[in-house]
Structure 1
Amino acid sequence: MKHFDLSSRIIILIFALIMVPHFCKKQTDTFTTLAISSNRPYHEEFATRTLTENETFELQKALSQPYTYFGRGGQAYAFFSADGHYVVKFFKQRLFRPSWLLNHLPLTPLFHKYREKRNWKRLDKFQRDFSSYKVAFEELQQETGVIYSHLNPTTHLKTKLAITDRLGIVHNVDLDHLDFIVQKRADRVYDRIDRLMQSGKIEEAKQSIKGVFAMIHARSEKGFRDRDPNIQTNCGFIGNRAIKIDVGRFVKCEEMKTKEVRDADLSRITAPFENWIAETHPILLPSYLETKEASLK
């Protein structure tokens, strides 16, 4: 009986050790302050330009209020401002960190190559993602709504932002030591068009379609490719202006300025959007096709 009790306790302990971390991650949606913390040194290539006076004023306005957890994407945790006008996105640092265990274990030559490859992939991702966040602020601000990209440790912000996590716990985080972007909050494209159509605002819905095409065209004209261009999940509207919500996948590509490449990119990106319009709001399809034809001229 004693043996049975001991075995049962061991099983319960093992079960708890496995399930408790899983339960905690589910409850917090994997967010912790450690998950967004980094001790990465300063990288000159990710230094961003000085803010204008108007940009400084808006950033101060954005960061002078508390934020509440909204959700997570593949790259970041998103928090919405109290006034509903801004979103702060803190990057998931585990995507860039080399594995401590992998780097400290004595490995055979075969696994040593695996470790080098894995570390290179994380460094490459860091460089690609941070380059895109810088581009979003400095060169595609109108197309992304990003008002600030903080990609290096600094000392000038001197701001502790109050963020409330999924469990309702408030954390006062020191922004000088975190990587993040501040972006104007947008309504997703499909939600906006649905809402306009439900309200009978057909002409405004048509203008929204034109706005999406204009946003894609403007990004291409500036010589950038978007490696994650999903209109349904990654694009939205700030007022009447279409923007790209997910800004971590821009790549410099001068070929995008050529008509052939630009048109092919536009057709590929908008194909699912066209199908959705045809199935959900067929009354908009003639206007959609007219807008598409004009964009491809």
Structure 2
Amino acid sequence: MKFLKIPLKIISLLVLVAVFSKAWVFYSSSFRLDKIEPKELFLNRFEINVLENKDLGEILNQKYRFLSKGRQSFVFVSDDNRYVLKLFRFHRYRQSIFCNLISSFEIAKKYTTKIQDEKDDLYYESMNSYKLAYEKLKDETATIYVHLNKTNDLNRKFKIEDKFKNTHLVDLNEVGFVLQKKAFPFKKALLNAKKDKKTIETLLSSFFDNLQSIYSKNLLNKDRHVIQNLGVIDDRVVEIDIGRFIIKNDFNEEKLKEEATHYTTYLKKWLLKNSKDSIEFLDAKLLELTQNKNIKLNEENNAS
């Protein structure tokens, strides 16, 4: 059995290293400056109508502290706690070290090409969604600014503080980001109002008003995790996760009802568990939304 001891020790060591590595990634949120570098991705150009914002310089003229990590970005909050800056995780759109290593083998090329094609599609879908949010849904998403291309007019070295209080200087011209107003989490707002039916219904009304505004512009959010993806600013519910918006030009009453029903599924499940008295109100607002004349008017305009 002695000949098994060395391999077992090696395997145990590898497992231990893997566990500690995973734990470190979780603890540190895996933020590194190289992960926000666009590199070759900034060779792509997204035509975007940049709207003048006189307050942009002042908003960016402060340090931003690490807040969280999302699927698409690292999120930082401003010192005055009024804004969030989402730095894109560009490393998600590049091949892994493993894929780079095996891509030289003919047998693996089909696999690595497929993986990269999927990453390219995800990149373009995400960037186009940010563009839609900025150009068409600024109010509905509390979006102030998006930076999708390399520029030279953001003349400042931007200070960010990571999870371990280390300060980094970032050239905003060289990175991709979204700047939004900071919102109070929708889920927390619902929990705070759990026993207050009137406040719950006020939040639901605002939610449906915002959704109606989005649908009336022939847009929808493919990400249906409503509870996590919404926020509240000055009693208004807004979409804060803006990475999966698409154009929907073929809305009719049936498709609108189907989409709105799917989109509110998680919200309805939450209410069934936490505030059953509000279900009837939600159903009434859902019916009102699907019969909204402004959305139907868009359908008629598209057909003509």
TM-score (norm 2): 0.84
Which of 53, 56, 60 aligns to 2:54? It is: 56
Q: Distance in 1 between matches of 2:153 and 2:47?
A: 13
* 2: CA distance, partners of 1:72 / 1:120: 24
> 1:19, 1:205 → 2: CA distance?
42
**Structure 1 position 144, deviation (Å):** 0.8
Residues 105, 196 of structure 1: alpha-carbon distance in 2 compared, 3 angstrom cutoff = closer
Residue aligned with 2:203, SS: helix
Q: Say yes or no: does 1:205 pair with 2:200.
A: yes
Query: 1:31 — aligned with what?
Result: 31
1:293 aligned partner: 287
Q: Which residue of 2 aligns with 1:225?
A: 220
Q: Aligned to 2:159, what secondary structure does the other structure show? A: strand
Alignment deviations for residues 212-258 of structure 1 (CA, whole Å, 9 cap, x no partner) = 112222212211231102111111111122211111111112023x2
1:110 maps to: 107
Aligned-partner Cα distance in 2 for 1:220–1:96: 29
Q: Distance in 2 between matches of 1:259 and 1:251?
A: 18
One-letter identity of the residue aligned with 2:216? E
1:36 deviation in Å?
A: 0.9
Q: Is the 8 A contact 1:81 1:87 kept in 2?
A: yes
C-alpha displacement of 1:145: 0.9
CA distance in 2, matches of 1:240, 1:268: 24
Percent identical among aligned pairs is 24
Structure 2 partner of 1:132: 129
Question: What SS is found at the alignment partner of 1:228?
Answer: coil
Q: How does 1:137-176 map to 2 (within 5 A)?
A: 137-176=134-173
Partner residue of 1:91 out of 67, 88, 91: 88
> 217-226 vs 175-184, which deviates more?
217-226
SS of match in other structure, 1:130: helix
CA distance in 2, matches of 1:13, 1:282: 52
Matches of 1:130 and 1:219 in 2, distance apart? 18
- What does residue range 234-253 of structure 1 map to in structure 2 within 5 Å? 234-253=229-248
Structure 2 residue matching 1:255: 3-state secondary structure: coil
Whole-angstrom CA distance in 1 between matches of 2:68 and 2:111: 33
Match of 2:260 in 1: 266
Q: Distance in 2 between matches of 1:19 and 1:289?
A: 46
Q: Secondary structure at the match of 2:59?
A: helix
Per the alignment, do residues 161 and 16 of structure 1 end up closer, same or farther by CA in structure 2, a change over 3 Å counting?
farther
- Please list every run of 5 or more consecutive structure 2 residues that lacks an aligned counterpart in the other structure: 1-5, 292-304
- Helix, strand or coil: the match of 2:49? coil
Cα drift, residue 91 of structure 1 = 1.2
* Corresponding letter in the other structure for 1:43: N
Deviation at 1:275, TM superposition (A): 2.8
Structure 1 position 129, deviation (Å): 0.8
- Measure, in 1, the Cα distance between the counterparts of 2:103 and 2:244: 35
Output the aligned Cα RMSD: 2.7
**Cα distance change on mapping 1:100 and 1:13 into 2, 3 Å:** closer
Aligned to 2:275: 281
Distance 1:193 1:13, change over 3 A: closer
Deviation of residue 193 (structure 1)?
2.6
3-state SS of the aligned residue for 2:250? helix
- Separation (CA, whole Å) in 2 of partners of 1:17 and 1:192: 41
TM-score w.r.t. length of structure 1: 0.85
Partner of 1:180: 177
Structure 1 residue 22, shift from structure 2 partner: 4.0
Q: 1:254 aligns to what SS in structure 2?
A: coil
What SS does the aligned partner of 2:54 have? helix
Task: Find the counterpart in structure 2 of residue 43 from structure 1.
Answer: 44
Name the CA distance, whole Å, in 2 between partners of 1:221 and 1:259: 12
The structural deviation recorded for 1:128 is: 0.8
Q: Any conservation in 1 of the 2:84–2:180 contact (CA below 8 Å)?
A: yes
Correspondence for 1:69 = 66
| Whole-angstrom CA distance in 1 between matches of 2:94 and 2:109 | 17
Deviation at 1:287, TM superposition (A): 2.9
Distance change >3 Å, CA 131–CA 22, structure 1 → 2: same
